[in-house]
Structure 1
Amino acid sequence: MASTGKYILLREGTVLTHSTDDHVIPLYDTDILVHDDTIVNIGKAIDAPDAHTEVIECRGKIVSPGFVDTHHHIWQTQLKGRHADQGLVAYMVSGNIMSFVFKPEDAYWGQLSGCLEAINAGTTLVMDHAHIAYTPEHATAALSATLASGIRSILAYTNPLRMSQWDQSCCVPDQDLLPQWAMSQLRDWVGKYNHNNGGSHSSDKVAPTVEVGMGFDLWFLPKDVVLPMLTELGEKGLRVLTTHVGCNAFQGLQSPIPMFSSYGLLQHPHPPSNETTALPFLLLSHCSGIPEDDLALLASTGTPISSTPDTESHMGMGYPVSLHSSLRDSKTANVSIGVDLHTNNPASIPLQARALLQLTRLEHNSCLLAKDTFPAWDVRSSSEEVFNLATIRGARCLGLEGQVGSIAEGKKADLVVFDAKGSVGMLAAAEHDPVTAIIRFSESADIETVLINGDVRKRNGKLVDVAVSRDGIVGKDVGGETHAMKWSDVAEEVRRSQRDIQARIDGLSLDQGRKTLLGMFHVDQGNLVDAL
């Protein structure tokens, strides 16, 4: 793709930069010049390069790095609210395996609106654990919608638990867990989207904002099936693999961390130069309940972890671990945060950071109170710590800290502008400390502008129109004819799709689905109790 020569000048904002040790340094009354997709200058009183330069006035506003979401199931928008008062077991039926009732066009609208909801909240990079690859057409629809949204994404291609039949009388699982069509499509996409085709810049890629990863949870399969598959995909360009991890009476009480270690999968996103492996690196989601020794092993190897505070507390998975002592005190640990389910909580990384901070403080203070002591002065962790999990450390967990996650010359222009001056909630906090203002007091409504890869995706507090591909919707291929669509029109399509999905759900027995799911997971139902 040839350079467009486009310039954007963000003028006189409070720019949140990072030192080499991840300390946040606010630069006041500072300009940022963006050329095409890259930040090329940060300083005072920068002149506009030409008469066509777009100028965004940022006086009284905070310019933050775009937020990084390292675990999210974006396709599920039409299921929002359905399991807001349900635990993990119920969600697996009412949410996870409901991909059964999604047609490819439903996947498209759920994915597109989910991406736009994330952008609206300031997320510029997402690790999307996309378990919507029910058919090749579903997967293509999800990819097409991701591209249309403009979000920077690692779309982790994942085969869901599929059902060959599900109605009022039965729920029968499909025995083909890794269908050949899926492996073929994944290999093709990895080759197409994860290589620069001879170029050295992301602009040379077919899709500069989308990389293809893989989501995988089928660790009960034999090692001699799993490792050759991952090695082959790694040799073709698969860089990131992600999986769910937790130790409890539903997911299993035996930690999988020793198995991952024996497979050679515990590694830093950037392994030392003297270590070569074709295997992708593994990002672990949740990790609640795993033993202390395993957390220490993850910390020492730099294996990335994503905590999702709202889901983990909501669904009984335990305290989120990203600020756990064994990880917080380690210089090699890679930790981050994710939204997980925007169906039961907002798709806002600052809100997840806020929840993580308070849950960590609750856990720590509860231990002090149990000893008849009291936290006297400072409390556990800081707003800066969780801000870093939401930005530079999140990017580091995805191996992309050289491109995004902080504001620096030469990095991609993924930027979020908070209208601190016009905000009700951020008043006075922004003047005291801009990082605290974002983490403790901001709302998505305070986000005025979002840039991703140098393109404005939210302007004056509203999402910009998106170019929707009809070919992508019906699953023929990614690309083709497009037309502009406003957010209000996207929302109407989602509502229409939601009604269609509900009609299909009405034809299912959720009880049959629950029985099938528990049987597949070999769950001891004597360990499942009512939380009321």
Structure 2
Amino acid sequence: MGTILLQGGTVLAHEGDRVKVLCNHDILIVGNRIEDIGQGLTLPDRSAVRVIDCQGKIVSPGFIDTHHHLWQSQMGGRFGNMKFMDYMVAGNIQSFNYTPEDIFWGQLAGCRESIHAGVTTVVDHAHMTYSPEHATEAIRASASSGLRTFFCYTPIWRIKSWTSDAPVEFDEDLLPEWWFSTLEFLGRSAPFGDGRVRLGLGFDDFKVPKETVRDLWARCRALGISLFTTHFVANYMKSTPIPSVLLTIYLDVLKYSHIVLDSVSLLKECALLNSTVIFSHINGIAESDAQTLLAHGAHFSSTPETELQMGLGEPVAFRPDLSSNASIGIDCHSNNSSDILTQLRLGMQHARGVENVQAIENGEYPNVNIKLEGMFNLGTIQGARAVNMADKIGSIEVNKLADIVIFDATSPGMVCAAEEDPLAAVLLHANVGDIEVVIVDGVVRKECGKLVDVQLYGGISGSPGEILHQREISKRLLESRGRIIEQGRGQDAGRGMEFLYKTFG
């Protein structure tokens, strides 16, 4: 870290929830914080300052992605025509075929794709914890990448054997002792990557007894963990018949499991529902649950692209009754890109379309009620609120951390739009190729439109390792992909589906 002067840019600043455009403004970054914002900033010793010319540029806060599975890079392109349960077999439970080394390369590539897209903070729902090494390698990769993340350590049902000849064998202990000892170790060691990588908890299996949930939350809080995330899709199974071949399996699960479908009510009953919880998706949420979520200050993350494709229901981030606690996520960069601008754009225009249809059906002329400013806030300041860091990230303000994205406002797509409305230029006309510079925690991680070389951490403690260019990272990622595909040969998808019904219900 050093001192950086961003000179003469068009800055998208915040005053509360209002976006204020500051033309021809400078931003002074000292270390990892914004020290000053103004016009014509002068410095006594410019020789010690790196100056980045921002004339013809739009300077934005870094974007915040509140739901992502960063380990899945090797499966990119696999799910383009799949619905949810097919993805679960072909994607989610494929972590069985990943070694810790494969997790490292998948995680590193996922982090760098996010940075490339102007995302500076990610809530990483890390559901691939087959061993302590799987977790520590993911953290090492996140720390190496330069991204700011919450590594939400997640217990999962772990497959032991998967072939085409017999039912999948799995470890029936969701929370073995080694999982807790790893949690303790990570909690004592966190944060990682000069403070950028914090520890959180991901949890999805609310079939366990309530006492287990309370105890897990208490252990996490004792370790200083203050962010919890869980998947929640209220309407997915409402009218979905269970295939008859799997009905016997499902009924057998009901015999010994306390099935809890409503995690909002459960967390409220356990006195655990508060502003430290992020629910992912919440498509089809009941009005009573929505009001409970809001009343307790909990947040949620919409991921429009996967939700619309995989049959989860309409994204709800733009609903007027819920938008105050909404934020935006990518979900699976194995299914779609990590470009959060695409998620914001797709979600907003879909929601506008829904409103238009309702207006027409009511005999009214459609109006544009959902505005760009609210859309921008979903990806910035509201994401910061969701991770309880609004005092540090999510907007460009003095004393906040220097997480900043710089767009080329003279690019073919942005040039005229930037003159008319810089906010519209970013949200409706920009693409990843227009992002010239990304700064995370005061360090330039992308410049001249390309990711800079990365120095790998030798371990989670931060000892320096080798320096790699993107070409070498891509080479090792492809080698890892080949190993994963080979490991998965002969694993019957139907057997995988049976496993999912048994464990997820």
Structure 1-normalised TM-score? 0.88
Question: Which residue, 468, 483, 490 being the options, matches 1:500?
Answer: 483
- 2:229/2:280 contact within 8 Å kept: yes
- Counterpart of 1:414 in structure 2 is 403
- 1:255/1:291 contact within 8 Å kept: no
Shift of 1:257: 1.9
Structure 2 residue 210 is the aligned partner of structure 1 residue 223: yes
The CA distance in 2 between the partners of 1:206 and 1:519, in whole Å, is: 38
- Counterpart of 2:497 in structure 1 is 514
Shift of 1:234: 0.5
Question: Which residue, 356, 363, 388 being the options, matches 1:365?
Answer: 356
Letter in structure 1 aligned against 2:172: Q
The CA distance in 1 between the partners of 2:356 and 2:179, in whole Å, is: 48
- Counterpart of 1:386 in structure 2 is 375
- Counterpart of 2:292 in structure 1 is 297
Shift of 1:383: 1.3
- 1:319/1:363 contact within 8 Å kept: no
The CA distance in 2 between the partners of 1:364 and 1:318, in whole Å, is: 16
- Counterpart of 2:455 in structure 1 is 467
- Counterpart of 2:169 in structure 1 is 172
1:313-368 deviation per Cα after TM superposition (whole angstroms, max 9, x unaligned) = 1111111111112113xxxx421000001111110111111011011112211212
Shift of 1:184: 1.2
Shift of 1:192: 2.1
Gapped regions of structure 1 (runs ≥ 5): 195-204, 269-280, 523-532
Give the alignment of 1:32-431 within 5 angstroms.
Answer: 32-50=27-45, 51-170=47-166, 171-194=168-191, 207-250=194-237, 254-268=261-275, 281-328=276-323, 333-375=324-366, 378-421=367-410, 423-431=411-419
The DSSP-based 3-state class of the residue aligned with 1:326 is coil
Letter in structure 2 aligned against 1:90: D
Shift of 1:481: 4.4
- 2:455/2:464 contact within 8 Å kept: no
The CA distance in 2 between the partners of 1:153 and 1:256, in whole Å, is: 24
- 2:9/2:25 contact within 8 Å kept: yes
- 1:14/1:26 contact within 8 Å kept: yes
- 2:233/2:312 contact within 8 Å kept: yes
The CA distance in 1 between the partners of 2:432 and 2:104, in whole Å, is: 24
The DSSP-based 3-state class of the residue aligned with 2:60 is strand
- Counterpart of 1:483 in structure 2 is 466
The CA distance in 1 between the partners of 2:489 and 2:54, in whole Å, is: 50
Letter in structure 1 aligned against 2:146: G
Cα gap change, 1:388/1:497 in structure 2, threshold over 3 Å: closer, same or farther? Answer: same
- Counterpart of 1:433 in structure 2 is 421
Shift of 1:519: 3.1
Letter in structure 1 aligned against 2:448: N
- Aligned-pair identity (%): 40
1:19-41 deviation per Cα after TM superposition (whole angstroms, max 9, x unaligned) = 12x10001000000000101001
Structure 2-normalised TM-score? 0.93
The DSSP-based 3-state class of the residue aligned with 1:319 is coil
- 2:34/2:400 contact within 8 Å kept: yes
Letter in structure 1 aligned against 2:456: V
Cα gap change, 1:320/1:249 in structure 2, threshold over 3 Å: closer, same or farther? Answer: closer
1:363-395 deviation per Cα after TM superposition (whole angstroms, max 9, x unaligned) = 2112122234331xx413011111101001100
The CA distance in 2 between the partners of 1:400 and 1:393, in whole Å, is: 10
The CA distance in 1 between the partners of 2:175 and 2:70, in whole Å, is: 22
Cα gap change, 1:169/1:17 in structure 2, threshold over 3 Å: closer, same or farther? Answer: same
1:203-258 deviation per Cα after TM superposition (whole angstroms, max 9, x unaligned) = xx773111000100111100111102211210220101100001134389953322
The CA distance in 1 between the partners of 2:469 and 2:74, in whole Å, is: 18
The CA distance in 1 between the partners of 2:21 and 2:384, in whole Å, is: 20
1:291-331 deviation per Cα after TM superposition (whole angstroms, max 9, x unaligned) = 11211222222211111111111111111111112113xxx
The DSSP-based 3-state class of the residue aligned with 1:288 is coil
The CA distance in 1 between the partners of 2:150 and 2:504, in whole Å, is: 28
- 2:124/2:152 contact within 8 Å kept: yes
Cα gap change, 1:252/1:237 in structure 2, threshold over 3 Å: closer, same or farther? Answer: farther
The CA distance in 1 between the partners of 2:491 and 2:84, in whole Å, is: 20
- Counterpart of 2:248 in structure 1 is none
The CA distance in 2 between the partners of 1:220 and 1:252, in whole Å, is: 21
- 1:84/1:343 contact within 8 Å kept: no
- 1:97/1:160 contact within 8 Å kept: no
Cα gap change, 1:206/1:85 in structure 2, threshold over 3 Å: closer, same or farther? Answer: closer
The DSSP-based 3-state class of the residue aligned with 2:415 is coil
- Counterpart of 2:250 in structure 1 is none
Gapped regions of structure 2 (runs ≥ 5): 241-260
1:95-123 deviation per Cα after TM superposition (whole angstroms, max 9, x unaligned) = 10000000111100000000000000000
- 1:7/1:49 contact within 8 Å kept: no
Count of matched residue pairs: 483
The CA distance in 2 between the partners of 1:432 and 1:239, in whole Å, is: 42
Shift of 1:176: 1.7
Letter in structure 2 aligned against 1:191: R
Structure 2 residue 449 is the aligned partner of structure 1 residue 452: no
- Counterpart of 1:526 in structure 2 is none
Cα gap change, 1:206/1:350 in structure 2, threshold over 3 Å: closer, same or farther? Answer: closer
- Counterpart of 1:30 in structure 2 is 25
Letter in structure 2 aligned against 1:499: G
The DSSP-based 3-state class of the residue aligned with 1:493 is helix
The CA distance in 2 between the partners of 1:206 and 1:514, in whole Å, is: 38
1:248-285 deviation per Cα after TM superposition (whole angstroms, max 9, x unaligned) = 343899533222211112212xxxxxxxxxxxx21111
- 1:429/1:436 contact within 8 Å kept: yes
Cα gap change, 1:118/1:206 in structure 2, threshold over 3 Å: closer, same or farther? Answer: closer
Shift of 1:521: 3.2
The CA distance in 1 between the partners of 2:398 and 2:451, in whole Å, is: 26
Letter in structure 2 aligned against 1:292: E
Letter in structure 1 aligned against 2:303: T
Give the alignment of 1:13-24 within 5 angstroms.
Answer: 13-20=9-16, 22-24=17-19
Query: Cα RMSD between the aligned structures?
Result: 1.6
Q: Which stretch shows the higher mean deviation, 181-190 or 405-414?
A: 181-190
The CA distance in 2 between the partners of 1:515 and 1:251, in whole Å, is: 20
The CA distance in 2 between the partners of 1:283 and 1:49, in whole Å, is: 45
- 2:236/2:313 contact within 8 Å kept: no
Letter in structure 1 aligned against 2:472: D
- 1:101/1:505 contact within 8 Å kept: yes
